[in-house]
Chain A
Amino acid sequence: MPNDNVFPFLSMLIVIPAGFALVAAAVPRTMGERAQRVMVEVVGAAGMLSTLALAVTMAIRFKLHDGGFQMTSSHQWAPSVGVSWHLGIDGISLFLVLMTAVLFPLALLGGRVKRNPQAHVAWLLLLEAGCLGSFVSLDLVLFFVFFELTLVPVYFIIAGWGYAKRSQAAVKFFLYTFLGSAFLLIGIVAVAVIHQHQTGVLTFDLPALEKTIAGTGTATQILLFLGFTAAFAVKAPIFPFHTWSPDAYAESPTAGVVILSAVMAKLGTYGILRFDLGLFPRATVDLAPYLLTLGVVGILYGAVVACAQRDLKRLMAYSSLAHIGFIVLGTFALTTQGVSGGVLQMVNHGLVTAALFLLIGWIYERRRSSQTSELRGLQRPAPVMAAAFTLAMLASIGLPGLNGFVGEFLILSGTFLSHRWWAVVATFGVVVAAVYLLWAYQQVFHHQPEGENATTRDLSWREGAVMVPLVLLIVFLGVYPKPVLDRITPTIDQLVQSVDQATGTTQPGTGPTTAAPGSRP
């Protein structure tokens, strides 16, 4: 297969953080604790920033109006078992890669740990390699390897640097997602076997598999779809597979929860979009109403349960459930508008959630608590922190002019075109989001502060430096989402068309000439 780049961008994207992880792990302990800390942090920052530079270069070189995979890299790896090193990037993965590359250095800088920084940095770098590898893999086994690889660093980060109940949370997270992955593995093997049965070729190459699997019978597709989706639904998480997340989020250290909620959650929604829609279009169309329902239930249920939370991190976990519900809704709307909105929402949710979890982490560092009952009036001693929290909160609520709005609007209006009543019900989720976030804000930042609350430190320069890029991105993507959407929509349009072709459906149009709008047949 031809490689359309002399420079192996995507391979480097994985190799650089993985390599730096090894370097960080190799920093000798003999040099003294302080020197070692500085050293590993410099290594970590260097690794993540060079990855970021690479990702930005890729984004600049990314060709517009091209819905296919770009910068592909394809090498024979283990032809006897059909596994190849096949990487590629398109409108779906480009911004997830960028977001990942942006968030890791921020998580590193914003979530520094006191104890054993060496291992923390090394695990984070390895985790970055795993996340980036998952987003660019076009071989099912390769994807699975990276997808699973992410579990290990996260487990050790939660268990090593987490809060009081860290070990239970880590175990629960690990077992739950591991169980989901088992279904995925079975699904992957089954897909390859079916392909081999039909063509005589054993391969795990996604584009090759799509050609045969997309045409298999609906019953087969549904079984395979369920296997794949089990893993992704747990990872995202999608209602009702979410109960690991409040515990894992609440007990994670700051860097861990930022990556877990902002980046790794997207592995789930990305997996659905990349594999379910491409490989199993018939099952996708048939099961869309159920998945849409799960999305809508997630939106409302997550928001309602969030209203009853008294811990900021648990509140954010349920808030994430609701926001992931929007992504699911957009994906299974199966209109170009809705799915594009879903992809945009993945990026937006990543940025906003990262900002909020960083801020909550910093509050915890100061006050040793993220309970709303113990925090009060922080806006008085910490106005800059309050302003940053307000901005991220408003983006999360979906205030137009900030990034969250554009994605949500495209999702809801795109869903309205194909599945009107799901969109109508989901729109009410927008109200409830405001209820819990404004309530939390009032509890934590309003009122007259007393005692320790009154002397809470405002953001330090380091924390401010972490927040600035996030704030700028949140505003920029809200005011000018065009550069992002221009690169997302060609891929999505191609994807939705391929689903339509495989199932003989068409996505609904708009305007006065549209006949009987409503559900897709």
Chain B
Amino acid sequence: MLSHAYLIPLLPLAGFLVLALFGRRIGEPWAGWLGTATVAGSFVLSLVTYGALLGRTGSGREVTDVVYNWIPAIPHSGFQVSASLLVDPLSMTMVLFVTGISTLIHLYSIGYMDGDGDFPKFFLYLNLFVASMLVLVLGGNLLMTFVGWEGVGVCSYWLISFWFGRDSAASAGKKAFLYNRVADVGFLLAMFLVFERTGTLSYGSAGGGGFLGQAASLPPSTRTAVCLLLFLAAAGKSAQFPLFPWLADAMEGPTPVSALIHAATMVTAGVYLMCRIGPLLSLSHTAQLVVSIVGVGTAFVAASIGCAQQDIKKVLAYSTVSQLGYMFLAVGTGAYEAAIFLMVAHAFFKGLLFLGAGSVIHGLHDEQDLKRMGNLRRYMKLTFWTVSVGVVAIAGIPPLSGFFAKGDVLDNAFAGSLFPWKVMWAVGLATALLTAYYMTRLLVLAFLGDDRWKAVVDGGRAKKDPHESPWVMTVPLVVLAVLAVVGGALNLPGHLSFDPLRWLAPVFGPGAFEEHLSGSSQWVLGVVDALVALVGAGVAFRLWSRETERPALEPALLQRSWYLDEVTDATLGRPGQALARMAASFDTRVIDGAVTGVARLTRGAGSGLRRVQTGYVRQYALGITVGLVVLVGYVTFLAVAR
């Protein structure tokens, strides 16, 4: 099975092709079931592959699978790229949770997109997204990863602007693409540099002949440059400061898209990339420092914004940015396992929260404003309970998955020595407090309190009562809720017996905290985490269960996302437009002006030739034709006469 790993991305790709050709004929709901089936098939295949990989040990757990020769060897430079897949514990962990979550969200979408005129097209995009995401994580070299990287980017663009009749959706899709494009410059430059210095773009560990195996022999400046360039790309894809505004706008897409692409999978690609180049990153102190500072900074800033958002999806979007920041903090402190652990756990509970939000939006007939919700627990019991599980998990209250996953990151930050005075840990802990606060605020505003949605009148009609969603939508909710509860078991601290993430070991060494922290300090840190989470949740409950308007707690600075959009617009957007206008007028006035000027000058000067140069180019053209005919005829005559 290990040599047939290409089937994993191929299956959803085949689904994409079938839907592209026959999607409209297949129609609703079978197009949805087809899409779901191909992704579910991929999930089964990855389980089998995972099993085969578990049966091996040590370097046997790294299998490179060359599908075909993509760019053949260029003479002299030896540039050569295969369409190759790297099957190892890291990629398979990613593949498993990507295909698993995708299957659930495909299923959910059959219900959510019910009745949409472009139903088949939605699954077409979704299938292509899954195929691209799988190429991204399975790619055996930087260029293959880049193929998937751009593929998910373009699918994200299509899905955000899925309802392109709305200007805001169309613009949001474009914005996402452009932010990512800027970041991609980093990816491209990193590839050029890696190729120049190592002659290859393949990952490959010590024995694999790839560039990661040569990490130790590269000059330090090169290592740092490559890591920082790739981090630029990662910061775009994973929405880190200052490149995160696109993710909030991306919420214009249908909610299953937000759950799958903009929470669970695509946005974690940056974290995955950083983990993938871990052997290189671990050798660059500067790059690690930058990654962790940006990570923890983003975590805090985004969490603060999340506290003041009114749109249920925007709260979740900033929450995602914040959690991704935690993952980068872990990466920066060398705790790659913790990053992957939080990534998987986050996929469970954030996927759950988005799907829950989707259920709410669906039930309330497209209402997203938290202030116009309230008391939904009476009408949507299942949604309420599953969302509550998600909130408890992300807030970091034991024993749900979020507590262990976030705890792992914070412990590593505490034990790490990158930055003095445990600043990283302290900021991370403050973020945890905010996380518990804004998530509880969301839960309370949506599900408790009065039925405020009753007062909302749209077009003279009162809203109909909210309704619970159909089974295709609630089953994924329940499955994800279960996973969010027990997900912590993936990596229990304190060397308890069951420890499956340990099998990432051939890829990553042990995290910092395992080397530096004693068992008792881990217990103390765990208790502190839990207390902070409870305090945050309690404060939010006190503040928001009775009152819905507290302007002091929702300052404009936070509501407007620290004015990042305004700053970007003022520094890049408007000057860019002005530059384009200036360049265009320069082109017509100066460059073309010079050309026409010269032409006029010639015409004026050559008064004797004026009669010929009256602009009748027809005459010139005719002249050329006649001249050519004469020339050719003369030459032929010479040849014949000879």
Contacts and interface: CB of A to CB of B under 8 A. Distances in A.
Contacts of B638: 78-81
Interface residues of A, number: 83
B473 to A, nearest CB: 28
Nearest to B214: A512
**Residue of A175, A244, A479, A517 contacting most chain B CB atoms (<10 Å):** A175
A308 interface: yes
Contacts of B26: none
Given A178-B620, A337-B77, A412-B188, A431 B615 contact: no
Interface string B617-642: 11011001100100110111011001
A174 B620 contact: yes
B70 A308 contact: no
A109 interface: no
A409 B191 CA distance: 10
Given A309-B584, A399-B154, A510-B196, A430 B184 contact: yes
Given A175-B617, A410-B74, A416 B599 contact: no
A301 B583 contact: yes
Contacts of A510: 77-79, 195-199
A62 to B, nearest CB: 16
B181 interface: yes
A439 B185 contact: no
Interface in A468-487: 479-482, 485-486
B621 A152 contact: yes
Interface stretch (A195-203, A271-279, A357-365, A488-496): A488-496
Contacts of B157: 438
B585 to A, nearest CB: 8
A409 to B, nearest CB: 8
Contact residues of A: prevailing secondary structure: helix
Contact of A430 (B77, B181, B620): B181
B475 to A, nearest CB: 32
B167 A447 contact: yes
B580 interface: yes
B192 interface: yes
Given A417-B77, A482-B71, A240 B591 contact: yes
B76 interface: yes
Given A83-B635, A416-B192, A512-B218, A336 B584 contact: no
Nearest to B74: A337
B164 A434 contact: no
A212 interface: no
Interface in A268-323: 301, 304-305, 307-309
Given A243-B592, A400-B146, A490-B75, A446 B628 contact: no
Interface stretch (B56-64, B169-177, B343-351): B169-177
Contacts of A439: 174
Interface residues of B, number: 73
Contacts of B170: 442, 446-447
B192 A413 contact: yes
A446 B620 CA distance: 46
Contacts of A505: none
Given A171-B617, A340-B74, A430-B184, A413 B191 contact: yes
Contacts of B581: 308
A394 B154 CA distance: 9
B143 interface: yes
B579 interface: yes
B165 interface: yes
25 contacts: A77-B636, A145-B628, A155-B621, A171-B615, A171-B617, A176-B595, A301-B583, A304-B583, A305-B583, A307-B576, A308-B580, A308-B584, A337-B77, A399-B154, A400-B143, A400-B150, A412-B192, A442-B174, A446-B164, A482-B71, A489-B72, A496-B76, A509-B76, A509-B77, A512-B214
Interface of A: 76-81, 83, 145, 148-149, 151-152, 155-156, 159, 170-171, 174-176, 178, 240, 242-244, 301, 304-305, 307-309, 335-337, 340, 377, 379-380, 394, 399-401, 406, 409-410, 412-414, 416-417, 423-424, 427-428, 430-431, 434-435, 438-439, 442, 445-448, 479-482, 485-486, 489-490, 492-493, 496, 507, 509-512, 514, 517
8 shortest interchain CB distances as A-B pairs = A511-B199, A308-B584, A243-B592, A446-B170, A307-B580, A416-B192, A493-B75, A78-B635
Given A151-B621, A414-B77, 9 more contacts: A77-B636, A78-B638, A152-B621, A240-B591, A243-B595, A409-B143, A416-B192, A417-B196, A482-B72
